Structure 1
Amino acid sequence: MTTTTAIGYEKNLPITDPSALIEKDVEIPELGPHDLLVEVNAVSVNPVDVKLRAGASANGFRILGFDAAGIVRDIGSEVTLFIPGDEVFYAGTNDRAGSNQRLHAVDERSTGRKPATLSFADAASLPLTSITAWESLFDRLQLTEQSFGTLLIVGATGGVGSIMIQLVEALLPNVTVIATASSDDRAAWVRQLGAEHAVNHRENMTAEISAIAPDGLDWLFTAHSEAQIETYAEIVRPFGHIVAIDDGPRDVSPLKGKSIAWHWELMFTKPQYKTHDMIGQHQLLNEVARLVDQGRVRATTTRALSPITAATLREAHELVESGRVAGKIVLHDWA
């Protein structure tokens, strides 16, 4: 077999258009030295998938998808971390064909062992958000088990926030989490995951946060920073830290008066630039798998669709586009 079924796009079309995502047969890629060829059993849809489909060039035919869980079927010449038959989960990178295909090539150093206690579908809900949350907390903000203070998570009901709350609960015992939520149901979701406080970002957020942390926030994670810098400058303490994962503002000068540090987090940086610490993503995914199997972190699946087809992927994209999804939408099993 030299080809595999893939789902992608040829034109930037509204997701309601049946041609917005289509199925095609594509060549199975030649494996690089550190590549795994994975039989994909489940995938999930992230906001970045929606963003790329809507505006990024297809260059003929672009295969989307980052999160995946499946079984290793072949390995490159220098692979040492996995063997054929291993069950894995991963988030891939943004400079290679995506995971929305039956057979997918991914670098072993960005791949972790699938949690033994999870189905492929639930495992696929975790990689991209876990890597983003982990790198934000431990690489960008440099938090440790001894860190003491208050963290605000803006966009806490999304995929990254839902994992970040759990990682803080599991690994950072002295960090208090304030999570933003826009409804009572969403507030209940973040509290269930471990947040000590839930505030409505649409109603008096500044006053609520000031009552909880009168001296200001120590750290702030944001997935929605546009037009929020003045607010952040008010609620973060002097010498505090902010980490953002969205495209963010172009002017952060309001933070200067308090010497507040601004950090960017993009989980694709390590695999895209093959940084010396790229294997850290393999290690952290294995740690997340361990926490899951210990019952300290849970999958964030809130909706599962089957089978994996262009139609179900269009449905998932439409749901994510709505902006009303808590947790993650996963797809499992090919038609």
Structure 2
Amino acid sequence: MKAFIVDRYNSRDGGRIGEMPEPELLENDVLVEVRAAGINLLDSKIRKGEFKLILPYRLPLILGNDLAGVVLRVGSRVKRFKPGDEVYSRPNKDRIGSFAERIAVDEADLAMKPKAFTMEEAASLPLVALTAWQALIERAGLQKGQKVFIQAGSGGVGSIAIQLAKHLGATVATTTSTANIEWVKSLGADVVIDYKKDDFENVLHDYDVVLDSLGGKTLAKSLRVLKPGGKLIGIAGPPDPAFAKELGANGFVRMVMALLSFGIRKQAKARDVTYSFLFMRADGDQLGKITSLADSGKIRPILDRTYPFDAVKEALTYVESGRAKGKVVLLLKKGEPTSTYENEGTP
């Protein structure tokens, strides 16, 4: 089958389209014909080898962490899906590979796609929606009336997290550029800070939760907008000891992660708040709940643009530029309808 293949980390060619063996179908697996695949910054980081310490993939590797498609076959123990079902998924981190014509996905990591969504709309959702769900609901326990600061509101995670937080009844603050202010307000943001004009730490105070997708210098600033007992959840790092334990990492990796996050954890403790690192996991049951929200109109997909499969390198470069508003999606199957939300929010 045709796939986008990474032969070496951080190689000059950046990967190639070529032939790979058909996926092996295990007894709990569902074989999916991929119609569309979402592109995430995670794909770029994996391609460059930035996650090889915690995600030691065997090369050559098929890239891709999001998909929507049609079930072709099911394993002998599969109960919830049948051939012909339209599904979507963020595959388990150990079994990625959605930039391909077909992929085998564990039944537990799969859900029926929202009925009203096209394939490309559905493919834009799993990784970012699961990240938002696990950060705001599972990790933060965000409640009605609380205040949450979601950085980079026009990005893939931010644009979905704003919608989910508003559904939960929270007051939502975010950052974006001047051109996107009214757009992120339309997603539900109550307080919008133009990062080109203002520093968020001078505007926001006494927040319950911060979802940080930027890392670096913004982490320490994020601590200062939280009230005592608040929670800072980082998805850009640094990883912490709890994540190392969850990963089942060896002693050396645990030590490295503890050292990487020591500074921010110490600062958090001094301010009576907590810092935790979230690396989202595949979860078909949670994705099914997200489907329900999507079908009821509580969450809508945010697509910046789509690319044909043979332009995958161009698509990855665009995602790396940081200019995308919402998600970028690869189209792997010709003849699919264009997205009803395609290019929504484009300046």
The TM-score, its normalising length taken from structure 2, stands at 0.83
Match of 1:277 in 2: none
Match of 1:274 in 2: none
Rounded Cα–Cα distance in structure 1 between residues aligned with 2:37 and 2:115: 17
Following superposition, the deviation at residue 95 of structure 1 comes to: 1.3
Q: How many corresponding residue pairs?
A: 305
Q: Deviations over 1:234-261 (max 9, x none)?
A: 2110111111111226212111123201
Residue type at the aligned position of 2:217: A
Could you tell me whether the CA contact under 8 Å between 2:23 and 2:102 is conserved in 1?
no
Matched, 1:204 2:199: yes
Following superposition, the deviation at residue 93 of structure 1 comes to: 2.2
Residue type at the aligned position of 1:233: L
Could you tell me whether the CA contact under 8 Å between 2:237 and 2:277 is conserved in 1?
no
Match of 1:257 in 2: 270
Rounded Cα–Cα distance in structure 2 between residues aligned with 1:59 and 1:287: 33
Q: Structure 1 residues 229 and 165, CA, compared in 2 at 3 Å: closer, same or farther?
A: closer
Following superposition, the deviation at residue 30 of structure 1 comes to: 2.0
Following superposition, the deviation at residue 96 of structure 1 comes to: 1.8
Q: Give SS of 2:203's match.
A: helix
Following superposition, the deviation at residue 305 of structure 1 comes to: 1.6
Residue type at the aligned position of 1:40: V
Match of 2:246 in 1: none
Could you tell me whether the CA contact under 8 Å between 1:10 and 1:59 is conserved in 2?
no
Q: Structure 1 residues 7 and 176, CA, compared in 2 at 3 Å: closer, same or farther?
A: same
Match of 1:231 in 2: 221
Rounded Cα–Cα distance in structure 2 between residues aligned with 1:201 and 1:47: 21
Q: Deviations over 1:60-103 (max 9, x none)?
A: 41110011000011111211121111100111122124111111
Q: Give SS of 2:290's match.
A: helix
Given candidates 292, 304, 315, the residue that maps to 1:290 is 292
Could you tell me whether the CA contact under 8 Å between 2:37 and 2:332 is conserved in 1?
no
Following superposition, the deviation at residue 13 of structure 1 comes to: 4.4
Q: Structure 1 residues 137 and 254, CA, compared in 2 at 3 Å: closer, same or farther?
A: same
Could you tell me whether the CA contact under 8 Å between 1:21 and 1:313 is conserved in 2?
no
Following superposition, the deviation at residue 39 of structure 1 comes to: 0.3
Aligned Cα RMSD in Å?
1.8
Match of 2:157 in 1: 160
Residue type at the aligned position of 1:30: E
Q: Give SS of 1:209's match.
A: coil
Residue type at the aligned position of 2:226: V
Rounded Cα–Cα distance in structure 2 between residues aligned with 1:233 and 1:101: 41
**4+ runs deviating over 3 angstroms:** 56-60
Q: For residues 98-137 of structure 1, what are the structure 2 equivalents within 5 Å?
A: 98-137=97-136
Following superposition, the deviation at residue 262 of structure 1 comes to: 1.5
Match of 2:327 in 1: 328
Rounded Cα–Cα distance in structure 1 between residues aligned with 2:219 and 2:40: 25
Following superposition, the deviation at residue 184 of structure 1 comes to: 1.7
Given candidates 8, 22, 31, the residue that maps to 1:28 is 22
Percent of residue pairs identical: 31
Match of 1:190 in 2: 184
Rounded Cα–Cα distance in structure 1 between residues aligned with 2:148 and 2:273: 14
Could you tell me whether the CA contact under 8 Å between 1:36 and 1:74 is conserved in 2?
yes
Matched, 1:266 2:274: no
Could you tell me whether the CA contact under 8 Å between 2:204 and 2:225 is conserved in 1?
yes
Q: Structure 1 residues 28 and 97, CA, compared in 2 at 3 Å: closer, same or farther?
A: farther
Following superposition, the deviation at residue 227 of structure 1 comes to: 2.3
Residue type at the aligned position of 1:42: A
Could you tell me whether the CA contact under 8 Å between 2:162 and 2:188 is conserved in 1?
yes
Residue type at the aligned position of 1:243: I
Match of 2:232 in 1: 242
Match of 1:176 in 2: 171
Following superposition, the deviation at residue 58 of structure 1 comes to: 7.0
Following superposition, the deviation at residue 59 of structure 1 comes to: 4.1
Match of 1:275 in 2: none
Rounded Cα–Cα distance in structure 2 between residues aligned with 1:40 and 1:229: 37
Q: For residues 273-284 of structure 1, what are the structure 2 equivalents within 5 Å?
A: 281-284=283-286
Could you tell me whether the CA contact under 8 Å between 1:68 and 1:89 is conserved in 2?
yes
Q: Give SS of 1:33's match.
A: coil
Match of 1:78 in 2: 77
Unaligned runs of 5+ in 2: 239-259, 335-347
Match of 1:7 in 2: 4
Following superposition, the deviation at residue 107 of structure 1 comes to: 1.0
The TM-score, its normalising length taken from structure 1, stands at 0.86
Could you tell me whether the CA contact under 8 Å between 2:123 and 2:329 is conserved in 1?
yes
